[in-house]
Amino acid sequence: MILTVTPNPSLDRTYEVPRLLRGAVLRAGTDRVDPGGKGVNVSRAIAAAGRATTAVLPLGGAEGALLARLLGEQGIDVAGVPVAGATRVNVAVAEPDGTLTKVNAPGPELTPAEAESLLTAVGERSAGAGWIACCGSLPRGLAAGWYGQLVARAHAAGARIALDTSGPSLTAALRERPDVVKPNAEELAQAVGRPLVTVGDAARAAEELRGLGARAVLASLGADGQLLVDDSGTYFGTARVTCVRSNVGAGDASLAGFLAAGGEGPDALASALAHGAAAVRLPGSAMPAPADLEPSAVTVTRAVPDDRALTEPAA
């Protein structure tokens, strides 16, 4: 079983339009609502693969009730922590060429008691979890060190932690030695405090995060591929993608694939790449099922193309 923790979940509403025109009245071709939040998406991808998962998350208002119902309909065990504020609603507008415009709401402000209740819920549900995936931004009311507290408590209980966050909350958690962290190129550059121009730059930055405490680093480089740096070495992988419909949740699907394949080594990296590539071919924040995967489109090597320029250098 894989347990996910999403401190700032959402309902994600996606509209597909022929073209986004500022100030115009647009008619959407499709309109879908999906459960949202990075950890929520990981649980959705795990459930789509037919595996057991529990989602720990704060829930508030009618929006929270709808989020819990939608997750339950997808076969996810929901461990909701009641909060006074309403669960946020995010909006995305997708264009045919793959351009995505997003408006993310801030979410409710959690009280100290609600923050502690979230930690308690994780402890109560962590027995038997192969991995605990802690994902996403922290809502108002949670200090930057909250993820660090969670990692410390989980390790004390013998659990393995995958952490997908950024900024001060990532930096603060590194000293607790999370088992794997999953930054994208921009977050990796922010963590080491310098621009990343090549794949080799990203690999060296990942090694620095390991020096700061991360036991392994799974770094997403967008269209350029992914890196895995752990005790066994450095691996680089790419996946062939013929079309991009929506990249919402693709990184979360990638983390789900990585953890579902054991969470270590090149086979897990290949699974991460296959899941991420499948996700971008789907509408909105839909998560891929096994039938959507194309393992033959994935290549993983131990040879890192050191001088290959990143398509979008991370400042």
Adjacent-strand bridge partners of 15? 31, 93
d(CA 135, CA 256): 11
3-state secondary structure 92-154: EEECCCCCEEEECCCCCCCCHHHHHHHHHHHHHHCCCCCEEEEECCCCCCCCCCHHHHHHHHH
Q: Which of 57, 139, 136 is nearest to 105 (CA)?
A: 139
Interacting residues of 147 by C-beta distance below 8 A, sequence separation 6+:
134, 138, 163, 165, 169, 170, 172, 173
Give the DSSP H/E element, type plus range, for residue 271: helix 265-280
d(CA 43, CA 52): 9
Interacting residues of 69 by C-beta distance below 8 A, sequence separation 6+:
none
Adjacent-strand bridge partners of 103? 91
Catalytic residue, candidates 31, 252, 292, 306: 252
| Residue 252 annotated to the active site | yes
Tokens of 105: 């709401």
Which amino acid is present at 72? Answer: G
Tokens of 44: 């959705």
In the block, tokens 């789907």 appear at 282
Q: Catalytic residue numbers? A: 252
